[in-house]
Protein backbone atom coordinates (compact mmCIF):
# COMPACT_ATOMS: atom_id res chain seq x y z
CA UNK A 1 0.00 0.00 0.00
CA UNK A 2 1.38 3.40 -0.96
CA UNK A 3 0.12 6.95 -0.82
CA UNK A 4 1.12 8.44 -4.18
CA UNK A 5 -0.38 11.82 -3.42
CA UNK A 6 -2.91 11.47 -6.25
CA UNK A 7 -6.55 10.61 -6.14
CA UNK A 8 -8.62 8.92 -8.82
CA UNK A 9 -10.47 12.23 -9.24
CA UNK A 10 -7.20 13.85 -10.34
CA UNK A 11 -6.19 11.01 -12.62
CA UNK A 12 -9.64 10.58 -14.16
CA UNK A 13 -10.02 14.29 -14.96
CA UNK A 14 -8.47 14.64 -18.43
CA UNK A 15 -8.08 18.41 -17.94
CA UNK A 16 -5.40 17.70 -15.31
CA UNK A 17 -3.07 15.96 -17.79
CA UNK A 18 -2.40 12.82 -15.75
CA UNK A 19 -4.29 10.33 -17.94
CA UNK A 20 -3.43 8.92 -21.33
CA UNK A 21 -6.81 7.21 -21.75
CA UNK A 22 -8.45 10.41 -22.97
CA UNK A 23 -7.18 13.55 -24.66
CA UNK A 24 -6.21 16.44 -22.42
CA UNK A 25 -3.48 19.02 -21.94
CA UNK A 26 -0.03 17.72 -21.04
CA UNK A 27 -0.10 19.60 -17.73
CA UNK A 28 0.47 17.25 -14.75
CA UNK A 29 0.69 20.03 -12.15
CA UNK A 30 -0.91 19.36 -8.78
CA UNK A 31 -2.35 22.89 -8.87
CA UNK A 32 -3.00 23.88 -12.47
CA UNK A 33 -3.98 27.39 -11.35
CA UNK A 34 -0.52 28.40 -10.20
CA UNK A 35 2.33 29.73 -12.32
CA UNK A 36 4.58 26.66 -12.13
CA UNK A 37 5.80 25.04 -15.32
CA UNK A 38 3.56 22.39 -16.88
CA UNK A 39 4.83 19.04 -18.17
CA UNK A 40 4.83 20.11 -21.83
CA UNK A 41 6.99 23.18 -21.19
CA UNK A 42 9.30 21.19 -18.93
CA UNK A 43 9.89 18.55 -21.62
CA UNK A 44 10.62 21.25 -24.20
CA UNK A 45 13.24 22.80 -21.90
CA UNK A 46 15.03 19.75 -20.48
CA UNK A 47 17.96 17.86 -21.93
CA UNK A 48 18.01 14.05 -21.92
CA UNK A 49 20.58 13.81 -19.10
CA UNK A 50 18.52 16.04 -16.77
CA UNK A 51 15.26 14.17 -17.46
CA UNK A 52 17.06 10.87 -16.86
CA UNK A 53 18.31 12.15 -13.50
CA UNK A 54 14.84 13.36 -12.52
CA UNK A 55 13.32 9.98 -13.38
CA UNK A 56 16.00 8.08 -11.46
CA UNK A 57 15.83 10.30 -8.37
CA UNK A 58 12.05 10.59 -8.14
CA UNK A 59 10.86 7.18 -9.26
CA UNK A 60 13.82 4.78 -9.24
CA UNK A 61 12.93 4.11 -12.88
CA UNK A 62 15.14 1.31 -14.23
CA UNK A 63 14.76 2.47 -17.84
CA UNK A 64 15.21 6.21 -17.17
CA UNK A 65 17.69 6.78 -19.98
CA UNK A 66 15.54 4.96 -22.53
CA UNK A 67 12.44 6.92 -21.51
CA UNK A 68 14.28 10.25 -21.52
CA UNK A 69 15.87 9.58 -24.89
CA UNK A 70 12.53 8.43 -26.31
CA UNK A 71 10.78 11.59 -25.16
CA UNK A 72 13.36 14.26 -25.92
CA UNK A 73 16.39 12.57 -27.47
CA UNK A 74 18.36 13.80 -30.46
CA UNK A 75 16.13 14.12 -33.48
CA UNK A 76 12.99 13.33 -31.51
CA UNK A 77 9.94 15.52 -31.90
CA UNK A 78 8.83 17.27 -28.70
CA UNK A 79 5.67 15.55 -27.46
CA UNK A 80 2.43 17.21 -28.41
CA UNK A 81 0.67 19.48 -25.93
CA UNK A 82 -1.92 16.78 -25.28
CA UNK A 83 -1.84 13.45 -23.46
CA UNK A 84 -2.67 11.55 -26.67
| Residue 16: how many other CB atoms lie within 10 Å | 19
User: Quick check: helix, strand or coil at residue 37?
Assistant: coil
User: Quick check: helix, strand or coil at residue 55?
Assistant: helix
If pLDDT is split at 50, 70 and 90, which confidence band does 76 have? low
If pLDDT is split at 50, 70 and 90, which confidence band does 65 have? very high
d(CA 16, CA 75): 28
CA 27 to chain centre: 8
If pLDDT is split at 50, 70 and 90, which confidence band does 63 have? very high
Q: pTM of this prediction?
A: 0.70
Asked if the model's pLDDT at residue 49 lies above 90, the reply is: yes
Amino acid sequence: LADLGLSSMQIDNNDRGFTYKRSGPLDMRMNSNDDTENAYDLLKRLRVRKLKSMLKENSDEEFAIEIAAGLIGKGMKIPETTTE
